[in-house]
Structure 1
């Protein structure tokens, strides 16, 4: 299957699974992920992502109808055929490469061939300083909830980004902070990722954010990962398959 003709609508996504091209997932597990009832699959990672392993994972996900987006952190892994291209802009780093530098270089190379209707910028704030994402980007964790709320305003009101992404990257975050950050948003959708390992945590994160992203749990405990999908999405006979608008 190639790119879906109709662009996926991120404003209806509640639950997303994130797959890392640099991590192994067998065909049976991948099928369970793609048929789980999740709203979308995001492909992306902080290290070890190449054109070849990204293209391979896309070709395997394309056996199923679930929307598939590429979170593009390395221009060399810009594989055609995804439904959306999510472009992270790390708001809490002093390293300009992760704000505009790498993006400008990528656009110099690929800007004329991009399908801009499928490009979605993400205002990213990384809160786990020990994570690979923080080490790679030089992200500095916000000091308090007001700092995080201000980043939300930056993404939503100044830069007009459609996604404000709070990334705890493997650790469970402070839902009070997430909930407060959401109050800053007028148009952006709040994505939360990090440390979701139980259905109860998934529900708590969904109560604080608009969309939750479950990644590491797929590789650690697949049955628990499946249980993070909202109950109304799990039954194919009753779910509303309105993935596109």
Structure 2
């Protein structure tokens, strides 16, 4: 099933390497979120990704895989998001991993199901920043330039500002959004309450809620309502 992510305002991001009970997963899937994104920076395997997808498929919520490890590419997702870390210090995360995945799976890829994401990582302490050796010591000028590079040079449908684990600068996020003409702006990082979801939703097209799911489920669920007021 091809889905239109453009209309998404709220997404829960689930990590296959983290534990959720069946009851917790049900609450997330029927919460009113627009979609479920599956992905993580470490510990993601084919086995735990297959298991999580099978559990999510009990519900009607759209489900996408953010491909961070080619060994964990699992058929059956509605769409596949391919991160390109624009400010990665290691070029392996700009084109290397992607090339290797296409070399291995190119003959069976349905390109209509592929969504490239231009990632801008801004929390130097996050796992994803360390894995990709991201240059996070950048200001508004560089962040906006990366966003324009994603949209106007590479024609990417998604630009993703990732603070991963900390709540970012919403003025900066708003500034990026104001410069984009067609690309969908996703924001993720530190959204752990109704109020933060409201602020982030006002700044970005779509918010991605992750870590708080595993820390306080009630607060995670409250972000859905917060997003709709943003």
Shorter-normalised TM range: over 0.9
RMSD: 1.1
* Range with greater deviation from structure 2 (52-61 or 224-233): 224-233
3-state SS in 2 of match to 1:121: strand
> Conserved in 1, the CA contact under 8 Å of 2:16 and 2:38?
yes
Question: How far apart are the structure 2 equivalents of 1:111 and 1:142?
Answer: 35
State the match for 2:216 in structure 1. Answer: 221
Matches within 5 A, 1:112-151: 112-151=107-146
Question: How far apart are the structure 2 equivalents of 1:91 and 1:149?
Answer: 12
* 1:181 aligned residue (158, 176, 182): 176
State the match for 2:92 in structure 1. Answer: 97
Closer, same or farther in 2 for the Cα pair 1:159/1:102, shift >3 Å?
same
* Range with greater deviation from structure 2 (179-188 or 49-58): 179-188
Q: CA deviation at 1:231?
A: 6.4
State the match for 1:242 in structure 2. Answer: none
> Conserved in 1, the CA contact under 8 Å of 2:177 and 2:204?
yes
- How does the TM-score come out when normalised to structure 2? 0.97
Question: How far apart are the structure 2 equivalents of 1:171 and 1:229?
Answer: 19
Instruction: Structure 2: state its 5+ residue gaps.
Output: none
- How does the TM-score come out when normalised to structure 1? 0.91
Question: How far apart are the structure 1 equivalents of 2:92 and 2:154?
Answer: 17
> Conserved in 1, the CA contact under 8 Å of 2:194 and 2:227?
no
3-state SS in 2 of match to 1:207: helix
State the match for 1:41 in structure 2. Answer: 36
Pick 1 or 2: higher relative contact order, CA cutoff 8 A, min separation 6.
1
> Conserved in 1, the CA contact under 8 Å of 2:30 and 2:59?
yes
Matches within 5 A, 1:187-226: 187-226=182-221
Where in structure 1 do 4 or more consecutive aligned residues deviate above 2 Å?
Answer: 230-233
> Conserved in 1, the CA contact under 8 Å of 2:197 and 2:227?
no
3-state SS in 1 of match to 2:108: coil
Instruction: Structure 1: state its 5+ residue gaps.
Output: 234-245
State the match for 2:81 in structure 1. Answer: 86
> Conserved in 1, the CA contact under 8 Å of 2:198 and 2:227?
no
**Which structure dedicates a bigger proportion of its chain to helix?**
2
Closer, same or farther in 2 for the Cα pair 1:231/1:150, shift >3 Å?
closer
